[in-house]
Amino acid sequence: MNRLKKLSSIILSIPAVCIVAVFAFAQHTVNKAPDFTLTDVQGKKISLSDYQGKVVYIDFWATWCGPCMAEMPHGKKLRELYKNNSDIVFMYVSFDNDYTLKTWEKYVKKNTDGAIHLYSDQGKIDSVLTKYNVQYIPRYVLIDKKGNIAYKEAASPSQTELVCKQINELLKESY
């Protein structure tokens, strides 16, 4: 009788183990940062995957977005804190449109200082927005060294202490 009880409890636990295994696999798949390729201010194509092995802080923004522009001076200070660390990349993905493209180009040429500025031209804006579920800007995402989304809602540059804590945690991880 005891053997039958043990056998039935094992059989009953199998579906739970399978569900946990499927959920764990799904979680891993969901956390992988979707790759994208966009254009920088010089017209060069840059991909997120070019920075595999580095922590990537992505800032989704636009020049017409007041809160985005208010964060830019804080972003500059944040980049200054990490200027000697080659394991962190600051990537700015702009959602400017054809009407504001010249404004974006002018701003970026004046404010490049170690940041990667990309333009999500109309053909690719929807795919990047969808891939990262960007429903508002500014929005910040932190990618770990393995190419996973570590923080889909990372702290803003003006939250210096918190964003540094998030970045430093990821920099400690090995690739």
At residue 122, the pLDDT reads 53
- Secondary structure (DSSP) of the chain: -HHHHHHHHHHHHHHHHHHHHHHHHHHHHHHBPPP-EEEETTS-EEEGGGGTTSEEEEEEE-TT-HHHHHHHHHHHHHHHHTTT-TTEEEEEEE---TTTHHHHHHHHHHS-TT-EEEE--HHHHHHHHHHTT--SSSEEEEE-TTSBEEETTPPPTTSHHHHHHHHHHHHHS--
Mean pLDDT of residues grouped by 10 in the chain (175 residues)? 52 44 35 92 93 97 95 96 96 88 90 85 68 93 96 97 97 87
Alpha-carbon span 116 to 160, nearest angstrom: 20
At residue 95, the pLDDT reads 87
At residue 15, the pLDDT reads 46
At residue 120, the pLDDT reads 80
At residue 144, the pLDDT reads 97
18 among known catalytic residues: no
At residue 48, the pLDDT reads 97
Task: Give the number of other Cβ atoms within 10 Å of residue 89's Cβ.
Answer: 19
Alpha-carbon span 137 to 115, nearest angstrom: 18
Which one is catalytic: 41, 46, 65, 164? 65
68 among known catalytic residues: yes
Which one is catalytic: 55, 68, 149, 155? 68
Alpha-carbon span 7 to 3, nearest angstrom: 6
